[in-house]
Amino acid sequence: MSTLVLNAYVTGAMVGWLTLFDVQLSIPWAALWGILFITGFGVIGFMLALCGLVLLWKDVRGDFLQMGLGCFPG
């Protein structure tokens, strides 16, 4: 839940900066919010996969997994 709040804060700040500097987006705002919402679920899914694998292996290999899973969303 804290990740959702943090992402909402970052998104709100981004929208604030875009509005402040009068940057025009080529897509509608509703589509932008939809894309941000869907990609947020993707990030949450990768973090749940990371947590599940660490719990499954019962070992501290989280750093290696985090680097490996971090390559996929980008």
pLDDT of residue 73: 53
Q: What is the pTM of this model?
A: 0.46
Dist. CA 7–CA 29, nearest whole Å: 17
Q: Which amino acid is at 40?
A: G
42 three-state secondary structure: helix
For residues 68-73, average pLDDT: 60
- Cα dist. 59→3, 8, 11, 68, 71 in Å? 24, 32, 34, 16, 21
Q: Which amino acid is at 46?
A: F
pLDDT tens string 13-67? 988 998 899 988 788 888 888 888 888 888 888 778 777 777 777 665 556 666 6
pLDDT of residue 66: 61
pLDDT of residue 74: 45
